[in-house]
A and B are shown apart, each in its own frame.
Chain A
């Protein structure tokens, strides 16, 4: 069987949609923490439903990723770079789940409602406890800053593949063609 040269169309669509959402989410997150102006209110009201949407899409994406065949990395890529690619992808998947879940648990522990839109809201998933809230808050912030750094590394590596190595790694994700070959 021939190895695919591109990710499946569904995975490519999910990747670019989520890339936009996650980047927006990182900026919304630090922005809403930085201001006591009215902007904070609508940034915060956007942050929660967007986080839930990312969590749901991450679950869908992991399913698609595990059930479709991914294109292999170039054979001439140094082992350390291959390792870095796999490790950073694992970290990205982990954070796509961990950040929304920690945020949800943090709001639960702090007694905040997890309101989405209108009267729609999610139930708490952690007990009311200020100490737990403080801990989860620190974890949420640290993971978010960590995610920004990994996103930068991911973007830098992708551009390096696309512009300098030109080895097909970039076009495996950045292509509008329907097929995988």
Chain B
């Protein structure tokens, strides 16, 4: 078929129409990508806020920088089957690896500074699905929304001129955020845990469990330790930081060299009206809790060659039977962990972990081999 020539005016008009279509499509694409919306709460902005607060430590996670890989298994007692159809709750064992970490802003920080003591886990279900959870040792979280998280990081970041946080900025933030004040008060009152093995770790956010019949329940969970709680006198932390800067991680290595660590996994069931979208608000203490099994951690390895370094403990990596709640922090955690991972994974070579330079840590690990 040969072309039928159009008058030049028509060619111009139709050319303009084609141009308009292409420009419109490009505009929509640019809008979807957020390049026109710098105020959108993007993964990049969350990680930028963390970098402003903590500095950039090449190759390290942008939060919970200092860590140790652990591995073992979860022994389900079968009680969880009534709550969730996830394989991990069927009676039997599921292999687990994980990571103890400190939310301290610097991979080479001494251990005795205020911040989260954390346990992250990856359950490798027999059917190939994975359940990841990143938990802290506090039953409440300092912020309820991604925007508040960004604001909190920036308000308490070191000032460029002084190298210290600007008290006025921090005060202005705290005045507007009673939930963060409540968290900080909780941290001041709580004893400083002397061992990763003896802390309770909380799911931070609410989730939804769905059973085989399709019934869905809002839940939170916590891992309660078998080891009795031990505290460090907060007045002694400064001295300990000088003499044994890795005292928490060395404690974990020493304990694991002697015997496994154990926690019971308790699932807390929400009742109507319990907040599922606000990690700063605890549920009433009398809520029903179900013991669904035992986590047994048997081995530790340095991050340098351990299984936990090259993954993120994204709380939205969930098997069928466990799903996200309406908590806005969940998508933000997932997004920020992914962005942090993309940034650090591109920073090569990965620097050695703080523990790899610690003779005490090395000798325990070699003894365990």
**Interface of A with B (CB < 8 Å)?**
5, 26-27, 30-31, 33-41, 44, 74, 76, 110-113, 115, 118-119, 121, 123, 128-131, 133-135, 137-138, 148, 152, 155-156, 159-160, 163-168
Contact = CB atoms under 8 A, between A and B. Distances in A.
Nearest to B46: A36
Interface in B102-159: 127-130, 146
Size band of the interface chain B makes with A: 35 or more
Contacts of A112: 314, 317
A159 to B, nearest CB: 4
A121 B34 contact: no
Contacts of A137: 342, 345-346
A74 B2 contact: yes
A163 B22 contact: no
Given A27-B28, A36-B336, A119-B129, A165 B41 contact: no
Contacts of A115: 129
A130 B319 contact: no
A152 B22 contact: yes
B190 interface: no
A29 B350 CA distance: 28
16 contacts: A27-B32, A33-B34, A34-B37, A35-B43, A41-B331, A76-B2, A111-B312, A113-B129, A121-B129, A123-B128, A134-B342, A137-B346, A138-B346, A163-B14, A164-B6, A164-B14
B331 A40 contact: yes
B341 A34 contact: no
Nearest to B347: A134
Nearest to B319: A119
B310 A36 contact: no
Q: What 8 pairs across the A-B complex have the smallest Cβ distances?
A: A34-B34, A111-B311, A168-B1, A30-B33, A134-B345, A134-B346, A130-B345, A119-B320
Contacts of B331: 36-41
B335 A36 contact: yes
B324 to A, nearest CB: 6
Contacts of A165: 3
Interface in B1-48: 1-4, 6, 11, 14-15, 17-18, 21-22, 25-26, 28-29, 32-35, 37, 40-43, 45-46
